Amino acid sequence: MTPSAADPLELLEIARSIALEAGAMIVEARRGGVEVADRKSSPVDVVTQVDRDSEQLIRTRLAEARSDDGFFGEEGARDPSASGITWVVDPIDGTVNFLYGIPHYAVSIAAVEGEADPQTWRALAAVVLNPVTGELFSATEGGGARLGDAPISIRPAAPLSQSLIATGFAYAEATRAEQGAAIARLLPLVRDVRRMGTASLDLCAVACGRVDAYFERTLSPWDHAAGALIAHEAGAVVTGLDGRRPDHLMTLAAHPDSVVALEAVLRDIGA
Ligand code: 2AM
Ligand code: CA
Ligand code: CA
Ligand code: CA
């Protein structure tokens, strides 16, 4: 693999225009009604034909724009990288919201350098688009985070008792039971909890100060690739447990002054 000389701003422009095209297709497809096409890891883990169509559209457009780059998408499309850059894509993040018509889902596209592994990759550019509201979050490495054209940043650090915490629950039944118990222990300690249903937008909510922090277990690389760069560039620490980067066990995003205490509390309550 040759090292990339890609300009993060060029990558961002490509991601932005493809996300907008995919988002328009998704919103239009929903007008015709949506059905579950298949179940994945469990009966509640669903996929629609629109998830698959969105992935194919994004993959095709990326290949047209940058034929040497790799592709790594939730719905299974994989292309090897000759350039050293790989696109990590969630074609619809928040599929359950999409299915029910809750206007809170996203197209998530990140360009990373290195293997498609969050422990080692270097995120260069990222876009998270809510195609219903038109809100487009973006970031480039070292270039800050934006909502539309406006720079965004996280909220000032707050004590846990005054923190609004976003989270999500796994699809596996046993894990959900544990997570319910952990939430029961967390609720008395915090301002409140939000379960909005779209991991990428939860990370963007941290980035623009709509919540104080976010944590979720059992995420996959495409769930957090773009949102993690956006939250990081907005001033958050985005981490896994024990100094690891985000992984299947935990993705945690918070103010740098709050993250250590929050990690300790999550451990304490068994989150
Ligand atoms: P999806 O809609 O693309 O499947 C819900 O908590 C959020 O987590 C959504 O962003 C959902 O993405 C994502 N997610 C993906 N896999 C998950 C899993 N196995 N358990 C919980 N959430 C998952
Ligand atoms: Ca899914
Ligand atoms: Ca997802
Ligand atoms: Ca998805």
Token couple for 180: 């319910």
- Ligand 1 atom nearest the C-alpha of 195 is 6
What pLDDT, on the 0 to 100 scale, is given for residue 42? 86
Compute the average pLDDT of residues 220-232: 98
Under 8 Å between Cβ of 90 and 108: yes
Tell me the CA–centroid distance for residue 220 and ligand 3, in Å.
7
Residues 18 and 143 in one domain: yes
Instruction: Residue 180: give its domain's CATH number.
Output: 3.40.190.80
- Ligand 1 atom nearest the C-alpha of 41 is 19
Tell me the CA–centroid distance for residue 55 and ligand 4, in Å.
9
Residues 75 and 19 in one domain: yes
Residue 66 has pLDDT above 60, yes or no: yes
- Ligand 1 atom nearest the C-alpha of 168 is 6
Residues 107 and 166 in one domain: no
Confidence of residue 1 (pLDDT cuts 50, 70, 90): very low
Q: Which of 173, 198, 219, 220 to mutate to test the pocket of ligand 1 (most atoms within 8 A of CB)?
A: 219
In a domain, 1, yes or no: no
Closest protein CA for atom 5 of ligand 1:
197
Cα separation, 219 vs 252, in Å, equals 11
Under 8 Å between Cβ of 190 and 221: no
List, for residues 112-148, the tens digit of each pLDDT value: 999 999 999 999 999 999 999 999 999 999 999 999 9
Contacts from 233-239 at CB under 8 Å and sequence distance 24+? 233/139, 233/140, 233/141, 233/142, 233/143, 233/144, 233/145, 233/207, 234/139, 234/144, 234/145, 234/152, 234/153, 234/154, 234/206, 234/207, 234/208, 235/153, 235/154, 236/154, 236/206, 236/207, 238/203, 239/263
Tell me the CA–centroid distance for residue 59 and ligand 4, in Å.
14
Task: Return the amino acid letter for 66.
Answer: R
Residues 178 and 103 in one domain: no
Cα separation, 10 vs 133, in Å, equals 25
Instruction: Residue 148: give its domain's CATH number.
Output: 3.30.540.10
Is 223 flagged in the annotation as binding? Answer: yes
What pLDDT, on the 0 to 100 scale, is given for residue 63? 98
Confidence of residue 33 (pLDDT cuts 50, 70, 90): confident
Phi and psi (nearest 5°) for 41?
-70, -25
What does the radius of gyration of the chain's CA atoms come to, in whole angstroms? 18
In a domain, 3, yes or no: no
Cα separation, 125 vs 145, in Å, equals 10
Token couple for 170: 């796994």
Question: What mean pLDDT is reported for the chain?
Answer: 96
Closest protein CA for atom 18 of ligand 1:
170
Pocket of ligand 1 (CB under 6 A): 41, 74, 90, 93-95, 168-171, 197-199, 218, 220, 223
Cα separation, 227 vs 205, in Å, equals 9
What pLDDT, on the 0 to 100 scale, is given for residue 187? 98
CB neighbours of residue 197 within 10 Å: 19
Is 93 flagged in the annotation as binding? Answer: yes
Total count of domains within the chain: 2
* Overall residue count recorded for the chain in this entry: 271
Looking at the CA of 200, name the nearest ligand.
1
Please return the burial class of 144, using the count of CB atoms within 10 Å of its CB with bins 0-12, 13-18 and 19+.
Answer: middle
Q: Which of 75, 198, 214, 222 to mutate to test the pocket of ligand 1 (most atoms within 8 A of CB)?
A: 198
Q: Which residues constitute the domain of residue 123?
A: 8-152
